[in-house]
């Protein structure tokens, strides 16, 4: 990692001190000079990452100082900040043309503070990540591997796109850098196309293409294909370093944000004990089940499943054992429904299933089969049983989750009354099933 060094050049001792303290606070080691000549001597002896220079030096104009500094060996990419106390547009433009990076007002140092703090953060940030790198020139491969590992990155380097593609599916990468013209039967373009066709997250990975053909229509084609960036050969190390830095950090920020969103989603929608959807999620998604049933005139059934004598199990074996039973049962139930069905933990020991395309008699048969299997499956080594109530949507305008739940819940109660461990379809007092 580069050492953060800065040089302040100003004839006024007061401003030198002020600038020095701002830069020191941002993490720079600071040297000072009173005039341009002294600064140029110091600059050629050392290598400063940042030079903060007055536009009003006693011996040399600010723009000339910039020009002479840039001509020194190793100052191509240094940040040269011109400090001014008058906003003479012409003078400032001259300084920019002569190579100044930016211009700041001496009387408003807040902007300078923000700039140096951000630069220091960027320079000292420890990158970590994995790069898939494809380049068929051995010499260039070595140079770029050095650059990337120096940035803290792990690199998987390949000469052929075929090998890289084989490695891609097994690796958790943060960036792909690929040459476009490669030896072998697969080109860099085919590799990019294959990556972009992937549906999973890795299909969105940032890709930097490199090529010796600096041809505009080829570049445009590459961007259309989904390449994020392009670096022409011969590769400028510093340019590639900055581009890699930007792509890796923004990709990782997006990933982190997505992970946070997922964990918030999981907290909001999933029951933490069973990892099934919770009641809130059932309410959220039920609308879709009902509207599709109306639209396509499909049947929709609901089953309410309630553990029998669970209080006794808790009392006899403890609440932790009860929790274990619920967690294992939840997992087991999830594996016994189809992808389009929905299962949620409604409350303590009560679960709800929405079964689209399934009428009530079919749901009864399904639940009876499940009950049979449950006798063999002993969650947490406990023999348990379920009372199940089933009801079918009647396709009446007021049908919704609440009305269907009410019927299925009443059916579940009828199953309890009938001695538990059985399935009941809701029956009206007149004996009509619904």
Ligand X SMILES: Nc1nc2c(ncn2[C@@H]2O[C@H](COP(=O)(O)OP(=O)(O)OP(=O)(O)O)[C@@H](O)[C@H]2O)c(=O)[nH]1
| Contact residues for ligand X, defined by CB under 6 A | 273, 306-311, 314, 319, 322-323, 326, 348-349, 416, 420
Q: Residue 276 and residue 327: Cα distance in Å, rounded?
A: 9
Q: Residue 79 and residue 242: Cα distance in Å, rounded?
A: 14
Phi, psi of 108 (to 5 degrees): -130, 85
Angle of helix 161-168 relative to helix 188-197, nearest 10 degrees, comes to: 20
Cβ-based nearer residue to ligand X, 70 or 420: 420
> Is 349 a catalytic site residue?
yes
For residue 274, the minimal CB distance to ligand X (Å) is: 9
Q: Residue 364 and residue 362: Cα distance in Å, rounded?
A: 5
Phi, psi of 329 (to 5 degrees): -65, -40
Cβ-based nearer residue to ligand X, 37 or 314: 314
Q: Which two tokens stand for residue 280?
A: 């809130």
Q: Which two tokens stand for residue 300?
A: 């929709």
Scanning the structure block, which residue is given the tokens 């990933």? 255
Active-site annotation holder among 328, 349, 350, 392: 349
For residue 319, the minimal CB distance to ligand X (Å) is: 4
Nearest to 164 by CA among 207, 127, 129: 207
Cβ-based nearer residue to ligand X, 298 or 334: 334
Cβ-based nearer residue to ligand X, 194 or 420: 420
For residue 410, the minimal CB distance to ligand X (Å) is: 14
Distances (CA, A) of 432 to 68, 389, 423: 97, 15, 16
> With 0-12 CB in 10 A as exposed, 13-18 as middle and 19+ as buried, what is 434?
middle
For residue 111, the minimal CB distance to ligand X (Å) is: 56
Q: Residue 179 and residue 137: Cα distance in Å, rounded?
A: 10
Distances (CA, A) of 180 to 95, 133, 134, 137: 39, 12, 9, 12
Contact 77, 97 (CB under 8 A): no
For residue 307, the minimal CB distance to ligand X (Å) is: 5
Cβ-based nearer residue to ligand X, 103 or 390: 390
CB contact burial 34-57 (16+ within 10 A = b; e otherwise): bbbeebbebbeeeebbbbbbbbbb
Expressed in percent and rounded to 5, the helix, strand and coil fractions of the chain are: 50, 20, 30
Cβ-based nearer residue to ligand X, 158 or 346: 346
For residue 326, the minimal CB distance to ligand X (Å) is: 6
Q: Residue 350 and residue 278: Cα distance in Å, rounded?
A: 11
Q: Residue 408 and residue 425: Cα distance in Å, rounded?
A: 7
Cβ-based nearer residue to ligand X, 43 or 353: 353
For residue 131, the minimal CB distance to ligand X (Å) is: 46
Would you name the residues annotated as active-site residues?
349
């Amino acid at each position: 990692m580069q050492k953060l060094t800065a040089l302040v050049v100003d004839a006024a001792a007061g401003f030198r001190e002020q600038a020095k303290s701002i830069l020191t606070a941002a993490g720079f080691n600071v040297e000072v000079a009173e005039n341009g000549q002294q600064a140029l001597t110091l600059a050629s002896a050392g290598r400063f990452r940042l030079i903060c220079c007055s536009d009003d030096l006693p011996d040399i104009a600010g723009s000339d100082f910039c020009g002479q500094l840039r001509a020194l060996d190793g100052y191509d990419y240094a940040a040269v900040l011109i400090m001014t106390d008058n906003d003479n547009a012409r003078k400032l433009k001259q300084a920019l043309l002569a190579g100044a990076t930016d211009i700041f007002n001496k009387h408003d140092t807040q902007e300078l503070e923000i700039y140096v703090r951000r630069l220091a953060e960027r320079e000292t940030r420890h990158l970590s990540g994995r790069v898939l790198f494809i380049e068929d020139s051995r010499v260039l491969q070595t140079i770029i591997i050095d650059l990337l590992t120096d940035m803290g990155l792990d690199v998987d380097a390949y000469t052929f796109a075929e090998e890289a593609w084989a490695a891609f599916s097994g690796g958790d990468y943060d960036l792909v850098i690929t040459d476009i013209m490669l030896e072998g039967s697969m080109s860099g373009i085919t590799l990019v196309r294959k990556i972009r066709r992937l549906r999973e997250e890795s299909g969105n990975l940032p890709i930097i293409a490199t090529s010796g053909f600096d041809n505009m229509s080829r570049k445009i084609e590459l961007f259309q294909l989904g390449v994020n960036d392009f670096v022409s050969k011969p590769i400028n190390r510093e340019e590639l370093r900055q581009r890699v830095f930007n792509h890796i950090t923004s990709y990782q920020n997006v990933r982190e944000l997505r992970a946070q969103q997922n964990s918030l989603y999981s907290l909001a929608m999933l029951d933490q004990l069973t990892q099934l959807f919770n009641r809130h999620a059932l309410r959220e998604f039920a609308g879709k089940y009902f509207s599709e049933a109306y639209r396509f005139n499909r049947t929709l059934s609901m089953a309410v499943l309630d553990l029998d004598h669970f209080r006794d199990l808790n009392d006899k074996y403890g609440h932790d054992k009860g929790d274990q039973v619920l967690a294992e049962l939840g997992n087991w139930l999830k594996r016994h429904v189809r992808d389009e069905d929905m299962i949620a933990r409604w409350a303590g020991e009560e679960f709800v299933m929405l079964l689209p395309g399934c009428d009530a008699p079919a749901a009864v048969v399904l639940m009876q089969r499940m009950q049979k299997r449950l006798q063999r499956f002993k969650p947490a080594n406990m023999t348990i049983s379920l009372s199940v109530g089933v009801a079918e949507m009647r396709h009446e305008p007021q049908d919704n989750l609440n009305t269907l739940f009410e019927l299925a819940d009443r059916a579940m109660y009828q199953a309890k009354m009938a001695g538990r461990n059985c399935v009941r379809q809701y029956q009206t007092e007149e004996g009509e099933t619904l």
